[in-house]
């Protein structure tokens, strides 16, 4: 975490969390989701309008990625100064990039050591790594297939709906913390 972020947390410890405003797609792209995008539907499985605006400012993206982590409940967030901005995930918390030499790094640029390889019912390939769980980027499937063919990775069959619970992440913190859900809790 950046030093300026740590200092901001100490200076303003009670800033409320933010939900629904930031999304990560299955290719490792970040999206800003204004009120209109959020009203158009969920980030994952919604329309193009519900995705929001693709972030393209490199320094902002780098800042988000340096300050991206999970809380104890498996909800991923970007620590924006004193405020946690929880991230809506299209697929997984990480998007894995595979190089021709089979080295792996996350969409944030952090090197990852592969611990397990999984394939779902749709043929999507996932990697459990020392830094977290991620979907293999579509552009890197040739390299991933070569790793499987060489016997370096042996895919285990999984059902995609089981992945969040099994690997401890929440795809939609906004849905989990929505007022409607909280009003109905206990009814």
Does 120 lie in the same domain as 137? yes
163: buried, middle or exposed (CB in 10 Å: 19+, 13-18, 0-12)?
A: buried
Half-sphere exposure of 111 (CA within 13 A, CB side): 3
CATH number, domain containing residue 31: 3.10.540.10
Does 142 lie in the same domain as 70? no
Does 34 lie in the same domain as 106? no
> Would residue 164 count as lying in a domain?
no
> Would residue 129 count as lying in a domain?
yes
Quote the pLDDT of residue 179: 65
Q: How far apart are CA 22 and CA 19, in angstroms?
A: 8
Q: Quote the number of domains for the chain.
A: 2
Residue range of the domain that includes 55: 3-91+169-184
Tens of pLDDT, residue by residue, the chain (187 residues): 677 666 666 665 677 899 999 999 999 999 999 999 999 999 999 888 999 999 999 999 999 999 999 999 999 999 988 899 999 999 999 999 999 999 999 999 999 999 999 999 999 999 999 999 999 999 999 999 999 999 999 999 999 999 999 999 999 999 988 765 433 333 3
Q: How far apart are CA 170 and CA 57, in angstroms?
A: 26
Quote the pLDDT of residue 12: 58
- Is the Cα dihedral 123, 127, 132, 136 positive or negative? negative
Are 120 and 163 a contacting pair, CB within 8 Å? yes
Quote the pLDDT of residue 182: 38
């Amino acid at each position: 975490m950046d030093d300026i972020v740590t200092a901001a947390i100490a200076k303003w410890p009670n800033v409320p969390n933010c939900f629904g405003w930031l999304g990560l797609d299955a290719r490792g792209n970040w999206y800003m989701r204004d009120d209109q995008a959020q009203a158009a539907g969920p980030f994952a499985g919604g329309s193009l309008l519900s995705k929001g605006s693709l972030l393209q400012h490199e320094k902002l993206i780098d800042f988000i990625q340096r300050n991206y982590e999970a809380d104890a409940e498996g909800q991923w967030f970007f620590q924006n100064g004193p405020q946690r901005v929880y991230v809506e995930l299209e697929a997984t918390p990480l998007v894995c990039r595979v190089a021709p030499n089979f080295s792996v790094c996350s969409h944030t640029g952090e090197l990852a050591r592969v611990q397990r390889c999984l394939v779902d019912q749709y043929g999507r390939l996932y990697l459990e790594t020392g830094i977290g769980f991620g979907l293999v980027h579509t552009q890197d499937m040739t390299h991933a297939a070569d790793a499987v063919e060489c016997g370096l990775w042996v895919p285990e069959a999984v059902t995609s709906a089981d992945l969040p619970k099994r690997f401890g992440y929440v795809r939609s913190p906004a849905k989990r913390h929505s007022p409607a859900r909280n009003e109905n809790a206990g009814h």
